Structure 1
């Protein structure tokens, strides 16, 4: 192989390496700032690009993702002359790679210094208590100020958060004592409320129990009264039925007697039978009607008749 052939092969390899090395692939969420002979040429977005060798160069590779900057705590003085340490977190995104590249030298240092200055201005107009309870207000004001200030740098500030607010040690101790006293006060209130509710529940239980007992006694009294009433009614009905039957028997007897047309002797004889039954009773005294006293003779006849009946039996 001749020297000329070897030189052509080497030259071809060099040209190929040069061409391949100047092929640039831009990834997703990236942007390349390209300069030609030191001047801004273009911004390459995602895709395949070719850089002219020795004339063009990639000046800066920029990430278009949202980024987080966590700055160290900054000393801040409140309106009532209390020095606190506050560290902030900023969420930002590069919207214009050209402005980000040429707008400001060292953009992150610029953002950190701007954040510290803005924070001191805002906290300086607030007292300690207000600054501790107004995080949302401080975050909103800082985001608006920083977003407007960084717009010429091609940066958009999406969110600002106060990560920590650290007051002086003596103020922390006082705040802890105050919080402890507040917790104890709330605990006492809760215990008092619990005792009150417990007493109320016990009273309500006793009240309901007394009401139930009274209702039970009332129902028992009503049932007892109704039972006694029913018993008296049944006794009265039985007595009335008995009287009615006696009267009915008496009426039937009188009816039969009237139908038989008895003479005076039969009537007197019936009267004597009645007196005999009365005499067989437990009465110690017997009052004999005057109409019967003259029946001595009739009594003898009655005795004869009874003996005759006994002999026949």
Structure 2
């Protein structure tokens, strides 16, 4: 009975020791097995066995693509301090897992040091605007330098990216002001051009309107003159001379104007001298002006004939008949 009690703990201990010799490795991971502190083998994903107590798992290597973000502060050629964020994507080479595990104590620190070295060597050669325009050149330079340095340690640099460029706060504010001023300048030029186009179009429209208005007035006056000429001809045919016909037409137009003003409901009120003698006075004034004009013309003709007696032969000219006796008579309505 006592021996059985001793055997049970031994069996249990032996079971746990045997169980410790079984281990698993996850996908995209490699395990480093050492025996008495010396490298023994590399185990890939799956179920594996090792000798308990003698063999130990020294560590595991991640075979996935990893990313390390490095923030570097440096100065440009035009003395502007700028912070760059460099993202480095790297992976352990399967054939060099041994080198990746045993040659580097901390690969992240090693990569960060190389990134600092390359960026602070390349950026001071560029101006701030060139840093923004040539960020791909910086990324390529970092990748080439890292590849040359890290491949010996079992690391492959997949890609490097300049993901952020952050100048000093005051520099960014100045750049924003410059950009805003430039855009305002362009906007002002476009607005001025648009205003010029509107002014030119308006001037052309007004000129065309004035031209058409003048043409309309000319056509209107031409038709009025033609109508007056026809009216005088008609009155002459019934025995009314030109002066009487003109006076009659003026009086008729006077009353037509008064009638049209009275018919227009939306027009403003216009006060005109209108009395029973208005038409008669206007006609008498017109006839008097015609008579005075005829007399002045007759007198000028006589003076011209007197001046030309010795120079030109005397010819008999037909005189205009004197105005009728009733010309100066007032016409009353």
Q: Do they fold alike, i.e. is TM over 0.5? A: yes
Pairwise mapping of residues 172-211 of structure 1 onto structure 2 (< 5 A)? 172-188=172-188, 191=191
Q: Which digits, 9 at most, give the CA deviation of each residue in 1:247-277, with x for residues without a partner? A: xxxxxxxxxxxxxxxxxxxxxxxxxxxxxxx
Superposed, 1:113-132 pairs within 5 Å as 113-132=113-132
Cα distance in structure 2, aligned partners of 1:174 and 1:83: 14
Q: What is residue 65 of structure 1 aligned with on the other side?
A: 64
Q: Distance in 2 between matches of 1:15 and 1:186?
A: 86
Name the counterpart of 1:14. 13
**Of 91, 96, 103, which aligns to 1:93?**
91
CA change 1:155–1:198 in 2 (3 A) is farther
Paired residues for 1:208-227 under 5 Å: none
**Structure 1 unpaired stretches of 5+:** 203-313
Shift of 1:189: 5.0
- Deviation, 1:171, is 2.0
Task: Please name the residue that 1:48 is paired with.
Answer: 47
Q: How does 1:101-116 map to 2 (within 5 A)?
A: 101-116=101-116
In structure 2, how many angstroms separate the alpha carbons of the residues matched to 1:139 and 1:16? Answer: 55
Provide the C-alpha distance between the structure 2 equivalents of 1:64 and 1:178, rounded to a whole number of angstroms: 48
SS at match of 2:125: coil
Post-superposition offset of 1:186? 3.7
Change (3 A) 1:142 1:7: same
CA deviation vs aligned residue, 1:12-33 (integer Å, no higher than 9, x gap): 2211111112201111111111
CA–CA distance in structure 1, aligned partners of residues 11 and 26 of structure 2? 29
* Distance in 1 separating the partners of 2:82 and 2:168: 6
Mapped to 1, the partners of 2:22 and 2:51 lie a distance apart of 9
Contact 2:22 2:47 in 1 (8 A): yes
Deviation sequence 1:149-203 (CA, Å, 0-9, x none): 111121111111223222223322221111112222343455567678989999x
| Structure-1-length-normalised TM-score | 0.58
Number of the residue aligned with 2:279 = none
TM-score (normalizing by structure 2): 0.55
Aligned-residue Cα RMSD (Å) equals 2.8
Cα separation, 2, equivalents of 1:200 and 1:32 = 83
Does residue 160 of structure 1 match 2:163? no
- Kept in 1, the 8 Å contact 2:118–2:141? The answer is no
- Given the superposition, is the C-alpha separation of residues 193 and 144 from structure 1 closer, same or farther in structure 2, using an over 3 Å criterion? farther
Structure with max Cα Rg? 1
Secondary structure of the corresponding residue to residue 124 of structure 1? helix
Aligned pairs, how many?
204
Note if 1:134 corresponds to 2:144. no
Q: Which of 72, 75, 91 does residue 74 from structure 1 map onto?
A: 72
Task: In structure 2, list runs of 5 or more residues that go unmatched.
Answer: 203-333
How has the CA–CA distance of structure 1 residues 4 and 173 changed in structure 2, closer, same or farther, with 3 Å as cutoff?
Answer: same
Q: Secondary structure at the match of 1:7?
A: helix
CA shift for structure 1 position 87:
2.2
**Cα distance in structure 2, aligned partners of 1:199 and 1:97:** 78
2:26 matched to 1:27? yes
Which secondary structure does the structure 1 equivalent of 2:187 belong to?
A: helix
Corresponding residue SS for 2:78: coil
How far the C-alpha of 1:62 sits from its partner, in A, is: 1.2
Inter-partner Cα distance in structure 1 for 2:158 and 2:117: 19
State the shift of 1:102 in Å. 0.9
How far, CA to CA, are the matches of 1:120 and 1:11 in structure 2?
64
Cα distance 1:67–1:200, how it changes in 2: closer, same or farther (>3 A)? farther
The 1:82–1:18 alpha-carbon spacing in structure 2 relative to 1, beyond 3 Å, is same
Determine helix, strand or coil for the equivalent of 2:138.
Answer: helix
Tell me if structure 1 keeps the 8 A contact 2:72–2:85.
Answer: yes
